Structure 1
Amino acid sequence: MNARKAVLRAAWGQAKVTVLRKYLSPTGISLLVFPVVVLAVLWFVRDSVIDGAVGVSAWVFSGMLAFSLIAGAAIGVSAEIQQEREDGTLMRAKAVPNGVTGHLLAKLVVAVVDTAIPVVPMVVGAAIILPDLLPSDPTRWLLFVLVYALATAAMLPWGAVMGSLFRSAIGLGVASLGLYALAIIAGLFYPLTMLPAALQVVGQFTPHYWIGLGIRTVLLDDAAMGLEVGGSWRTPQMVLVLVAWAAVGLLLAPVLLRRMARRTSGSAVAEARERVLSRGY
């Protein structure tokens, strides 16, 4: 039990240091530019509507919130895992008793913060300049918290899977582009029903669609249901699908992370360093 407490204490301390260093640096502060740009776009399209029923700004806002959750949880985690394997961070963690476990727990805490960093400024900014975009019903805010938790739980393990599978930055970059492409065909920024039937089927097989659907359930009026597949919010299905994605990811991620940790060695780190010096990636 003392060992568990020590691991948790070390993980919490590492997470605090990582968050402070990341978000008090110029690079971390620059991340606030993205929410500002999004809010500016929402302001300029505030009077536009889709099919005379749904505001464009509301739909785009829900899509940007969903995409921020996906990118923060999956792409951010995968990039850091891939980098830490190559710069020797993971190898150094292996040298400490329970070091890998504590390091991954800290990474989990940091990843949750990473998903919140773009979302919180967007929500606060919308509350100031476009308050009609946000729900006034406390029940819908509770649903938002549920969707946020489910989206994070569904995407974090898959970010770890991506970081474990791809051994180079260029390979991970291609996989990240795949996530962006899925966002395009998953109806995050426009109704999925506007796409051909085949793409509608593909879109519903992605977690992107269900995360976006959950956010839209919170933010949009019931009039928007007519633009959804099946003409309803399908909240029970949304919960079940995201739980399923989380469960499968949680089964795969530990296996792949353990395999990656076993294969990380001094020679592998040196090889990665040589590759970066010679190729630039």
Structure 2
Amino acid sequence: MIVVTGATGQLGRLVIAALRERGAAVTAAVRDLDKAADLGVPARLADYDRPETLVAAFEGATRVLLISGTDPNRAEQHRAVVDAAKAAGVELLAYTSVLGAPTSTLGVAPDHVATEEHIRASGVPFAFLRNGWYHENYDQTARQGAETGVIAGAAGNGLVASAARADYAEAAAVVLTGDGFANTAHELSGDTAWAMPELADAIAAAAGTEVVYRDLPLAEHRASLLAAGLPEPVADFVSGIDASIARGELAATPGELSALIGRPTTPLREWAATALKQS
């Protein structure tokens, strides 16, 4: 049996669907059982802040996917999940980390590195799914660009090798149902790295209107985010991502994602057309 944590989230739902397509016996581990009613699989209560629920959720599981949390104390929460997986005798613990985790300066990287280190120390066989950027991270940007004709940022000439969330979900399903993945780390990203003007072009093509990218100094970009009403920690996080992009930290295209899923990753323009159609 495969247990997927965070199963009612955007990535978790896609992983559940991909596993069902493969005929896998899968159980959703969720904080709110009511939200799991439409998943089509059994669900168990699993609250990262209540370790006793995690041990019960993993009972009988051979493989577990730990989808990283979003709470400020997520590193501590992840440790509880790892410890519960070990206690349950899980044979493979897959974890959604971040691209280039050991050397990344992304604001989220320290928590991912800490989790990877705890998993290694636990002795539980692991598969690190170091996911790069999602196309869907720019859903709001696409809508804004279509409405105003402008997207702004501070990424300079930096490149982003993003892929669709469904691509990463499919890769997770491949690892969870396959053999030979114990104690492996996978750098996962899109086949093609693009610069921000190309993002503007993709949005323009989908919207049928002109969209341009306006590159700003980092401090000015941060100030514009604050002026738009973002809380200071969020503005710091968003502007920090652009700084990391400018340094090339999300540009790697090792081809591991497309190799795992057996097809090319979803093109940027295909995502843009879908994103605007759904808005």
In the superposition, the TM-score normalised over structure 2's length comes to 0.28
Structure showing the higher helix proportion among its residues: 1
In the superposition, the TM-score normalised over structure 1's length comes to 0.28
Q: Using CA pairs below 8 Å that are at least 6 residues apart, which structure has the higher relative contact order?
A: 1
Structure showing the higher strand proportion among its residues: 2
- Pair member with larger Rg: 1
